Amino acid sequence: MNKIKECVVRPSETLDLLSRKEILAAMQTGEEVFQIFRDCALAVLNTGNDTDDATELLRDYADFSVSILPESRGIKLRILNAPASAFVDGKMIRGIQEHLFAVLRDIVYTQDKIDRAGGFDITTGPGITDAVFRILRNAGVVRANIAPNLVVCWGGHSISLEEYDYTKEVGYQLGLRGIDIVTGCGIGAMKGPMKGAMIGHAKQNNRRGRYVGISEPGIIASESPNPTVNELVILPDIEKRLEAFVRLGHSFIVFPGGAGTMEEIMYLLGLAMLEDNADIPLPMIFAAPSASADYFAILDRFLRETLGDEAAEYYEIVIDNPERVAQLCLRNLNRIVAHRRQTNESYAFNWKLKIPDAMQLPFLTSHEAMAALKLDPKLPRGELISHLRRAFSGIVAGNVKAYGIRQIEEHGPFRLHGDPDLMQSLDKMLSDFVSSHRMKLEGGEYQPCYVLENVPA
């Protein structure tokens, strides 16, 4: 594989002017945090190369290194053995260079604020929300005095070509209507809407299109940002990433996906169905091409069987008809504008949204934690949704995150158990994900990182 032996880069926008104290904070970064920064920096430099195997990427670039060099006006980065695809004629691509310093900002400096007294408080709900807001604001993603215009697009990284083309057409229709896009910043259903919106924006002479990628260290290290992202922000963990989506975004589209998509759906449904949020619109559209209509039929059945028919009141299903999806989104955005004006809520950040502690506090995936999850419909609905969300989060970790993959290699698959009927519904849906190749990118037969117990024969 081609590598660039050595280069030195300076920030062009992010971190282009730092105080001596801020420079010192970067130089004193702990070994564990700097390792996370190194892995995420490598992923950013690998932009455009489709992969979801963090261990393979780290193995292929075992000789990759990055170091921080201080100078009077700030810092620069010395990089050794980087992927050559990040360079043109020996010079780093500007967008990748900006993302590289976004990683430094969101990994090194955010962790410094978490560690320092007087920095972020991530032990309480209000403190976590404040941290999420400040991270987004520091990244320039939260913008005042702009009418609600951000549509969050969720979906899988491993999807069919037909599904990808569909997400791109939906993005195109959104772009024609001046709507900006937020995704998890990876490939597949995260890339398609952004790429389509770029064309729609261009046709309308809209040169200010926003393609916001929101990630977290475990995800970005295994799934590089797609080349379309022009605003990248990395939250400390999956829970803060999910909170960033729902507080920043105004309307939501879900395309076909795997366990990660189910985690996102559970998170949003958990908030939408919460009594405290009854008056806050959280519009969600499930959209797929006709060839994938069964995907949402299976998902709809699972949600009804586990959460009750009431769950279906919180989403609309649209098959084909990308124009209709965009029109519904525009309608939803108008609803959001009216609601925010009526309640004097910020256009830029949904402060009034209530998020339970169980949705905010990090779930540390392990075999013990997964086995302890309670998957029982007799639980209060909010508690059941929280446990289901964590189950899907653990499956994602076992599929694509380096630490999760190591746990599976060392101790075997995670074991989930619960109510037999619920486990049977879960088994049907996950089996469909596996047979449709939604769990991992192509590259051999998928070996599940989980075992479902109590499933009736």
pLDDT of residue 119: 80
User: In Å, what is the CA distance from 426 to each residue of 304, 326, 369, 422, 445?
Assistant: 12, 31, 18, 6, 21
**Is residue 12 within 8 Å of 94, Cβ to Cβ?**
yes
| Tens-place pLDDT, residues 118-127 | 688 888 999 9
Q: Which residues are within 8 A (CB) of 73 and not within 5 positions of it... i.e. 6 or more apart?
A: 17, 18
Q: Which domains does the chain have, with CATH numbers?
A: 3-119 (3.30.1850.10), 134-343 (3.40.50.450), 357-452 (no CATH)
| Tens-place pLDDT, residues 308-341 | 999 999 999 999 999 999 999 999 999 999 999 9
Residue 278 corresponds to which tokens in the numbers above? Answer: 């009854």
Q: Please report, for the chain, how many H helices and E strands are present, in that order.
A: 18, 14
- Taking the C-alpha atoms of residue 96 and residue 415, their distance in angstroms, rounded to an integer, is 39
Q: Note the pTM of the prediction, 2 decimals.
A: 0.94
| Tens-place pLDDT, residues 285-306 | 999 999 999 999 999 999 999 9
User: What is the rounded (10 degree) CA torsion for 28, 44, 121, 67?
Assistant: 0
- Taking the C-alpha atoms of residue 272 and residue 188, their distance in angstroms, rounded to an integer, is 26
- Taking the C-alpha atoms of residue 46 and residue 64, their distance in angstroms, rounded to an integer, is 12
Q: Give the angle subtended at the CA of 231 by the CAs of 225 and 235, to the nearest 5°.
A: 70
Strand partners, 211: 181
Q: At what angle do helices 161-176 and 192-203 cross, to 10 degrees?
A: 30
Most confident segment among 66-80, 230-244, 442-456: 230-244
Rounded average pLDDT over 181-200: 96
Q: Where are the beta strands (DSSP E) in 104-179?
A: 150-154
User: Residue 204 CA to chain centroid, in angstroms?
Assistant: 28
| Tens-place pLDDT, residues 273-284 | 999 999 999 999
- Taking the C-alpha atoms of residue 118 and residue 352, their distance in angstroms, rounded to an integer, is 25
User: In Å, what is the CA distance from 138 to each residue of 143, 384, 406, 411?
Assistant: 11, 35, 33, 40
User: In Å, what is the CA distance from 324 to each residue of 250, 292, 316?
Assistant: 18, 17, 11
- The amino acid that residue 239 corresponds to is E
Helix (H, G, I), strand (E, B) or coil at 225: coil
Residue 85 corresponds to which tokens in the numbers above? Answer: 């695809």
**Is residue 392 within 8 Å of 263, Cβ to Cβ?**
yes
Q: Where are the beta strands (DSSP E) in 126-168?
A: 150-154
Confidence tier at 145 by pLDDT (50, 70, 90):
confident
| Tens-place pLDDT, residues 228-267 | 999 999 999 999 999 999 999 999 999 999 999 999 999 9
Phi, psi of 400 (to 5 degrees): -130, -20
